[in-house]
Amino acid sequence: GQQVMQIPQYQHVQEGEDFTTYCNSSTTLSNIQWYKQRPGGHPVFLIQLVKSGEVKKQKRLTFQFGEAKKNSSLHITATQTTDVGTYFCAGDTGTASKLTFGTGTRLQVTL
Amino acid sequence: EADIYQTPRYLVIGTGKKITLECSQTMGHDKMYWYQQDPGMELHLIHYSYGVNSTEKGDLSSESTVSRIRTEHFPLTLESARPSHTSQYLCASWDGPGYTFGSGTRLTVV
């Protein structure tokens, strides 16, 4: 079956440093989505990427979708303590909006 | 704020008990999902529904069952709970582009 892997599994940064998480799918995706889950919380939708090579920005967050539509990345510039949480990518192969979630990257930010 | 509600938020029960986890949404979405998530781990799809009287098993085998007799309601039932069922259960609905998740039910079976 489809597998979606993320690296790193965990990253600890000082506030103000940049952070990147990478997402790789074993199959070509129709779209990819990103979610953030705060400790003790539930996943919250951040963004969806659909086009090959697409880049989208949300303030300090930059999302990219690979040319082959099998990988993606999330980059956070100048992290803040409010960025703490686990970031999941989720791939949709187009089979009726059934998402396969990645393994997640847990981000810890300290002052 | 979230228009998808899960109850109970926390549940501790004994082995062998039957339980139903409730999930309701007020958005009129046809597509609903149940995911299972162990602490700090990824989400695994266990059930989904595309509308009333439509239910399918997900990628992760689960001993739970679901029903969808009303659009807004998608309960999950465990006939006989076991310690291996201890986990967080997240309900979600979809109407594009992303899922809306409920706050989850943290289940502990002792």
Residues B50, A86: C-beta atoms closer than 8 Å? no
Judge whether A99 is closer than 8 Å to chain B, CB to CB: yes
Q: What pLDDT was estimated at residue B60?
A: 84
Separation CA A90–CA A93 (nearest Å): 10
Q: What would the pLDDT profile of B45-67 be if each residue is shown by its tens digit?
A: 999 999 999 999 988 888 899 99
Residues of B with Cβ-Cβ distance to A51 under 8 angstroms: none
Gap between the Cα atoms of B54 and A66, Å rounded: 34
List the Cα angle A77/A79/A85 in 5-degree steps: 120
Question: 10-residue block means of pLDDT along chain B (110 residues)?
Answer: 87 97 95 94 94 92 92 96 96 91 97
pLDDT tens for A30-84 read: 999 999 999 999 999 999 999 999 999 999 999 999 999 999 999 999 999 999 9
Q: With an 8 Å Cβ cutoff, is A10 touching chain B?
A: no
Q: What share of chain B is helix, strand, coil (3-state, %, to 5)?
A: 5, 55, 45
Mutate to test the interface with B, among A6, A21, A42 (most CBs of B within 10 A): A42
